[in-house]
A and B are shown apart, each in its own frame.
Chain A
């Protein structure tokens, strides 16, 4: 009967137990919870396992399929290796919330209906915010609040869309749809916010680099890739995604090139990589969906590896910026080597997992004769090598000698990096290991001599461009403005301006009113009431002859009759 328990529950139980447990028991829970979850992920049958009545709906908390299991698998694997990486350095509440966050991602993977999906979606939003806050700095606190606002807003938009779909179609099933009415557009928008699509991509590079050295490893994996899975399940072949994906690809490269913060470079390159996947989902053929799923799987591994390598540097040196480090390969050979393997994999170098997965997306574009898409993806592949493949290891581990001689990674961090490095190469050398778990049958030959040569030319000459253009890429101690400037500065300034204007107007009105009231009081006193100063009675205190009173009454009555008559 255990098979009917959603695997995410095991992860949640693990997250709850991490807090009260101590010492070796806690370590055991950290390492065992993801593995137990993984085992149950593989027991999930295809199709809807069962449904439960909830209000007027049939909730389906557990629905299996190839692509759902694939994503849940990599989420659980990520939690395990991330736990190994973090358990000796991270605080227990960071580990606990990271595991609850992973549980949310695994829960979304198996959600058979939109209500379940939404609940796990919000679980992720809540606990990823806590992981950002675990950065512990004032900047992390502020970035966490901005992160939470963005994701709660995204959740509301998603919920509006879900309500609309439920009311108008009567179905709460997670099934493919097209963004052709208000409801589906709301769902698409809610998901795209989590995918860091424009115009709100900035939340990712704002928050992830402010988390702790271990926290950013977890953050890099779950939110954006759950959004990719949701897009695969709900919007395969949605044409709008092609353009959005291509924009993300280019945005990530340009901003990463401008960036000085080590982990922010990697954060921008998440947007870039997710752009490849979003674009593939937009193409929507079997080859493209396979490519998106495979790329997401490989991407989680090498991106986490890169964040681990950067995390060790931050942990050992305390520096976050390229301009503070350099030449670290001397004393951190393992971290440098693993960082380089991750960098080669993200660049899609032959014999790495990036090559065997990302080229499927290009192939899908070529098969559909999408010339512009294919060419832009090829240019972007070169650009990835430029901004992440060389820039990250070069500025961190080589460049100049910063004089820093930090120790290499602690054993558990090193072990986590080695596991993921081996996986990067294993999936590059033996891609069939991954291909057999993809949603559709794979008819794709990753290694042909021509293709390898083409990509080697592309990548090596972008390497040449990097070293020739180095003077143009001198690190400056700056940040780059993004669309979040609109609400972090413009909106704030407007709000401050409006507040000041309103309070100025308010005080002007109140002093003006006081003056006028005083004036009126004086006039009234002088003409109507008893005048104290002159001793002459006012209008109402004077004695009037009866005749005048009768005349006034007659006038009033006439006026009344006239008004009544008309």
Chain B
């Protein structure tokens, strides 16, 4: 939000809206976990029927994937013209 234009921006981009969206989002997350009190989730292997399993599993697997990607990035990332140099050699 550094180069915000001078005139009032689109309502969706205003800080107040973003704050509201965060609140709604967190409320939805809480409701989704608490809803498991009323709605039975059938676990196929026991563990996946635990309270809040979907939430924890979703969060942790994403965390793991982002960290793995980040770590691999150190090895795999190259400048965009990486292949151009090599192919120009020939």
Contact = CB atoms under 8 A, between A and B. Distances in A.
Interface in B38-90: 39-42, 44-45, 48, 52-59, 61-70, 72-73, 75-80, 82-83, 86-87, 89-90
B62 A462 contact: yes
A114 to B, nearest CB: 37
A469 B66 contact: yes
Interface string A483-498: 0000011001100100
Main secondary structure of the interface of B (DSSP, over half): helix
Given A448-B42, A457-B54, A492-B86, 4 more contacts: A374-B44, A463-B25, A472-B66, A477-B80
29 contacts: A257-B65, A258-B72, A369-B45, A371-B45, A375-B57, A379-B64, A382-B61, A386-B62, A386-B66, A400-B1, A400-B3, A450-B39, A450-B42, A453-B36, A453-B39, A460-B29, A460-B32, A461-B54, A461-B55, A462-B62, A469-B63, A469-B66, A472-B70, A476-B77, A479-B78, A479-B80, A481-B75, A488-B83, A496-B90
Interface residues of B, number: 55
A478 B82 CA distance: 9
B10 interface: yes
B16 interface: no
B79 A254 contact: no
Given A465-B59, A480-B73, A489 B65 contact: no
Interface of A: 142, 250, 253-254, 257-258, 327, 329-330, 366, 369, 371, 374-375, 378-379, 382-383, 386, 400-401, 403, 448-451, 453-466, 469, 472-473, 476-482, 488-489, 492-493, 496
Nearest to B62: A465
Contacts of B53: 454, 457
Nearest to B81: A479
A257 B78 contact: no
Nearest to A465: B62
Contacts of B29: 460-461, 464
B76 A480 contact: yes
A450 B40 contact: yes
Contacts of B82: 479, 481
The 10 A-B residue pairs whose C-beta atoms are closest, nearest first, are: A457-B54, A379-B61, A465-B62, A458-B58, A257-B69, A461-B58, A366-B44, A450-B41, A478-B77, A382-B58
A341 to B, nearest CB: 17
A142 B58 CA distance: 40
Contacts of B59: 461-462, 464-465
Given A330-B10, A379-B57, A465-B63, A456 B72 contact: no
A459 B40 CA distance: 18
A477 B81 CA distance: 10
B1 A465 contact: no
Given A401-B5, A459-B58, A453 B65 contact: no
A250 B69 CA distance: 10
Contacts of A479: 77-80, 82-83
B18 to A, nearest CB: 10
Contacts of B13: 327, 330, 401
Contacts of A142: 87
A342 B40 CA distance: 30
Given A366-B44, A457-B55, A478 B72 contact: no
Nearest to A476: B77
A476 to B, nearest CB: 7
